[in-house]
Each structure stands twice: as structure tokens, then as C-alpha cells.
Structure 1
């Protein structure tokens, strides 16, 4: 009887365990059906992805968005569909294991079957027990398109506003010297008509006409060069030159101008010779523009330091002043085509706003770069770098006397809106 009871107890226990397993399996089957139904009926993208980037499960929304069938998606590594620029956003699995298991609100671009990229807003949770990711997503391609178009529209409005201001300034820049030239000519005509012209008056009027003609010439030259650069017709005449001599000569050529304002001009270099391929005329143009800006915004008894350094791979030239400086919110636009520093303190000395844009273009055409460091009421420092490279089978060009003489004329043109000639 005892043995029979023991056998019956085992049978009852097994039967009870079997029933429990059946109930648990039924619950699990119901859960899986509910999960499958949820995956299929979810409005957003829902899926399970293994650590290698392959789908284990995916609702039909993925097929609708990406274009591939569910069978095709299972055999595609999702990482291979990711835009190359968005790869840096992907975190390695080890970071999920040792850090946060959940990541949300990351925007990725995935390749659609039709060859176009679409934007998805992805959230993911790493399930360490299963070694896979639960991933949800939402198609935000239309939203990103609207956002991009909005940015383009805002940028277009900003550029249009800057253009309007630019052309307004250009009109003023043309009108002012023209009025002065016409006024001087009228005074000359009146003096001649009254027979009261003197040599002194004649020299003064001619000097005024000459200076303002230089102002117009400078403006026209800048406009023509900017237009040529934009259309790709502006070319450098490269030759092997000692860049130290070019920078030093053009710096020393403006000594007379800075002395008029009692400004101390210093030239400093860590090397006496650095041969590289450049266009001397364009380098002079860059230096004259930077020096004229420094002189404009440096007060009497101020200081301008021009320094040149070389590390064998590149030459670094700095033009530093202790003048009015540039407001922080304007530093980012001073090299823009239509950018200007419209501060009330320096409004009386501003120009057309294309000089520094031209400088940036000329430096970049030499394969270099330019930047500015400035603090309001402390001063500004413009720094440009040019790589050291040579033209093969080309002799070193020596700056001759005629070229040095032409620098005086270039200075007169560049500084025509600062000094009376």
C-alpha cells in the first residue's frame, strides 16, 4: 500500500507539473501572439536586433519605410544601410554593457531600397540577458526636409539682408569720393573763371581728386577680383620666392603712413629666409589689407606688430594691433562676402565689407588659412598660414627695384580712405 501510494503521489505531482507547464506555455504563446500583433500593428518602427546588427524580429513598418521585404531585412546588416557620416553616432556594444542600457532620440540616415536616404528617429535598449537590442524608430524624413528648407529660407533671408546692406554701403562708397571729385572740379572751374587760381590751390585740389580716384580704384579692383574669384577666372602667378623678404618689404613700405599717426610698427621674424611658391603680388595685397585695417582701428601712439614664423612645413604670419578690437558676435562674419563690423564706435571708418573676404580667398588659393583673435578695446590679431611648397625647376625670384617702387603706388591705393595723399 505504501509503495502504491508513493507511485500515485509521483503521478499526481507529474500531472500537476504538466498542467502548470501547459498553462505557462499557453500564457507564453498568448504573450508571443500579443507581441507579434503589437509589432505588426505598431504605428512606429519596432524590432529586435542582435549585437552584430541583424534583425531577429521586425514589424512590417520597417518594410514600408525601407522598401525591403521582411525576409530581405533579416539577411541585411542594418549597419550597412547607415549613412557613412552617421557611423560615428553608433556606440559599440561594450559601451551599452558597461554604461547606460538605454539610448533614445538619435537621428540616423538609412538607405532605402530605391537608393535614397531617409531620416529615422531611433531609440534602443540593450537586453543583456538576451544579448540583443530592442529598437524603436520613427520616420522623420519629412520633418527633416521641412527643417532643412526652413534653415535655407532663413539663410537666404539673412544673405539677402546682408546683400542689401552691402549694396547700400557700396553706393555710399562710390558716391562719397565722386562727390568730392566733382566738388573739387567745381572749385577749380570757379577759380579759373574768376582768374583767382593759385599754385597752392591747384595742388590741393589735384591731391584731393587723386586721393578719391584712388579710393574708387581700390573699390573697383576689389569688386572685380571678388567677381573673378566667384566665377573661377582668378588665377595665381606662382613662383618661388623668399616669403620673409616679401612680408618685410611690404611692412617697411607703410612706415611713413604709421608715423603720421605716431604708431609704433614692429617687424619680427624667426628666420631670414624661407623659400616657397606664392604669388608676390597677391601676398602684398593680403598684407596691405591687413595693415590698413590695423592702422584704421589703432589710435595715436598705438602699436602694430607683424611677426613671421616657420616650422619648415608652413609659414605663419601675424598682424597684431592694440586698437579698438572686434565684438565677439561679429568675429564670425568678418570674412564673409557681405560681412561688416557695424559697431557704432567704428562706423565712421568702415568700408565696403569685401576686403577681408578677398584676403581670405587669396590666402586659401595659396592652400592656406586665416583666422582672427580679438577682444573689444584690447586689440585684434589676424593670423594666416601658408604651406611651404616649391615649383620644380623654378629659380627663386628676387624682388627688384621696380617692384619695390610699385609698392608705394599700391600703398597709396590701399590707404586712400585713411590718409590725404
Structure 2
């Protein structure tokens, strides 16, 4: 391998530095191998003496080596960043689990004390029972989120598509949280372009997606605010959009590209009274991908956010035993599970 004629000056520069006992920093250089192929590289030299004779130790790094080193450094940085995010996540999660556990333990102690004093009954004991139940549900919600997230991450989530009226499914989910939203001074308005649309959907996935988005909307919307849930039928595109808009605090523009990343909480540090595990939106994104839905977000900081889930309209084959199943108006749609799913938004 010889130095390319156009880069001979780099070689001579290195020799001059060696003569003056100087180290040559890495310079760009080109070599020609035995097959006539030009190789991009970097070369640096270090002088050393043996018996008063000066010798040169040259280090040659090909561009392929440099690229591999850069890739390795990038991977190390990404791994360290991910490890840090995971550590922050588990620290945050431990706090999320401890809070309801402490409240449950305190309420249980008080109930035990009242029982020992034969003072059970009245409004006080009712409040403590409600607090215990509420925080038990809250823990269940956190654990369920972790289980679903783990199932998706490990590829064990099974998509279960059945033909149902998506309008009624989403309306039932929304209606199940209206009363709670009202208790926080937030009004939810549901509207739809089409009264009925039966299509193949994964009800469990949609429940998780919509409930998490509604949960966030209620968390981040102040009293007297609004949440609008619109079903937008796009007949020409054979799609339907679920659009959830709130008048909440919004998301800063430079953080919009971070909200769907795992273990990330974009509002950490500037909204002190808002808790979150950091997996909600990441789980929504993963679930959306699994059911071939697209999720997008628009937001203006200080004015609110709009999340849109876009679904392709399709149907299960008629020979599927669940394909003809249709939700009736008076049929409950996992209402208890939906209520439980909202418990993490209670300020306790």
C-alpha cells in the first residue's frame, strides 16, 4: 500500500515533525492498495528514540474503522441515555406505586382503629373505604399498564379484531368518564359525522388508547376547560379519524417529537401537580402500530392539544364467529374496567 501522489505532502509533513521530535496529529490521507483501489484514511505519527536514533510510529485509521468507531460511540451514548431514562422511569414508577400504597395502608390502619373502638360507621369511615378502593384501582391501573406495555414490547400482545360499531364503542368509552371530568370542572363534548359504522376493531386496544388520551386531556386541562371528541368519517379515503382536542396547557414545540418515546414525560419539571408513569403515550403509539392505526398530534403551548387516531375501515369475514357481533345500545361495554382505567387521574 502506497500513499496517493496528491497526499504525499501529508507524508513529508509527518517526517518533518518527527525530525523535530514532534507528534503529528491525525490528517486526512489517501492510500492506493495493491489492486489500485483508493482508500480514505487518517494518519498520525509519534516519534520515539532507540540508541539515539529517531524512529516513527504511524497509526493509520481507515474511514471504515472511523465509521465503525463512530457507530459504536453512538450506540454507547444511546444505551447510556436509555439506561438513564429507564432508571428515571423506575424511580418515578416506585413513587407512583408508593403513593396509593401508603394511602391504602393509612386508611386500613384508621379503619382498624375505629373497629377496635367500636366506632365504625358515619361519613368518615365511608370516605376511608372510598379512598382505599380508589387507590386499589389506581394501583391496578398502573400494573395493567405495565403488563400491557411489557406484552407489546415482547411481542406477546394478540390483536383481536371483531366487527363492531366503532361509533358506539368510542361513545361508550367517552361517556364513562364524563361524570369524572365534570367533577374536575371539565366538559366533554362528543360529536360524530356518521351515526353508525360497523368495522373490524380491537376493542381492548381502542379502550386503552382512548382512555389514556382522555386521561391526559383531563389531567392537563384546567377548570372550565373543554375536551372535544369527534368521529370524522372519510368516505373517499375509506378511513375514520378519532380526534381528541383539549383546551389544556399544550405541549412545547421542541418536545412534540419526544412525547411518544418510552419512559419520557415531557411535562416533567414544569407542572408540579401532574404525575405519570412515562409509558402512557409510548404504549398508545405501540398499540396504534399493532392495530395498523396512525396517531398524530398537534399542539400549541398554552392553548391545547389535538390527538388524532386514524383507522382504515375493514371487516372480518362472515365465517368468523364474532364477525356478525354488533353492540346494542343498552349493552354495557366493560364499563367497570373503563372506570377503573381512569383512576390514575384522581388527585389523592
Q: TM-score range by the shorter chain?
A: 0.7 to 0.9
Query: Which residue in the other structure is 2:266 paired with?
Result: 341
Residue number among 320, 333, 345 corresponding to 2:245 in the alignment: 320
CA distance 1:196–1:396, shift in 2 (3 Å): same
Contact between 2:293 and 2:310, CA under 8 Å: does it hold in 1?
Answer: yes
Residue number among 305, 318, 327 corresponding to 1:399 in the alignment: 327
Q: Tell me how far 1:160 sits from its aligned partner.
A: 1.1
Task: Confirm whether residue 352 of structure 1 aligns to residue 277 of structure 2.
Answer: yes
| CA distance, structure 1, for counterparts of residue 333 and residue 167 of structure 2 | 18
| CA distance, structure 2, for counterparts of residue 199 and residue 420 of structure 1 | 23
| CA distance, structure 2, for counterparts of residue 141 and residue 379 of structure 1 | 48
Moved over 3 A (4+): 37-44, 60-64, 118-121, 342-345, 400-403
Secondary structure in 2 matching 1:367: coil
TM-score (norm: length of structure 1): 0.66
Residue number among 231, 239, 251 corresponding to 2:174 in the alignment: 251
| CA distance, structure 1, for counterparts of residue 103 and residue 205 of structure 2 | 30
Q: Tell me how far 1:155 sits from its aligned partner.
A: 0.9
Contact between 2:31 and 2:40, CA under 8 Å: does it hold in 1?
Answer: no
CA distance 1:203–1:420, shift in 2 (3 Å): farther
Which segments of 5 or more consecutive residues in structure 2 lack a partner in the other structure? Answer: 12-29, 43-60
| CA distance, structure 2, for counterparts of residue 402 and residue 213 of structure 1 | 29
Task: Confirm whether residue 377 of structure 1 aligns to residue 318 of structure 2.
Answer: no
Structure number with the higher helix fraction is 1
Secondary structure in 2 matching 1:349: coil
Task: Confirm whether residue 38 of structure 1 aligns to residue 5 of structure 2.
Answer: yes
Secondary structure in 1 matching 2:273: helix
Contact between 2:164 and 2:199, CA under 8 Å: does it hold in 1?
Answer: yes
Task: Confirm whether residue 410 of structure 1 aligns to residue 337 of structure 2.
Answer: yes
Secondary structure in 1 matching 2:71: helix
Count of residue pairs brought into register by the alignment:
305
| CA distance, structure 1, for counterparts of residue 206 and residue 225 of structure 2 | 25
Q: Tell me how far 1:62 sits from its aligned partner.
A: 5.6
Contact between 1:302 and 1:322, CA under 8 Å: does it hold in 2?
Answer: yes
CA distance 1:197–1:152, shift in 2 (3 Å): same
Higher Rg of the two aligned structures: 1
| CA distance, structure 1, for counterparts of residue 180 and residue 40 of structure 2 | 58
Deviations 1:141-181, CA, capped at 9 Å, x for gaps: 12211211121111111111111110001100110001000
RMSD over aligned CA atoms reads 2.9
CA distance 1:345–1:40, shift in 2 (3 Å): closer
Q: Tell me how far 1:406 sits from its aligned partner.
A: 2.4
Q: Tell me how far 1:185 sits from its aligned partner.
A: 0.7
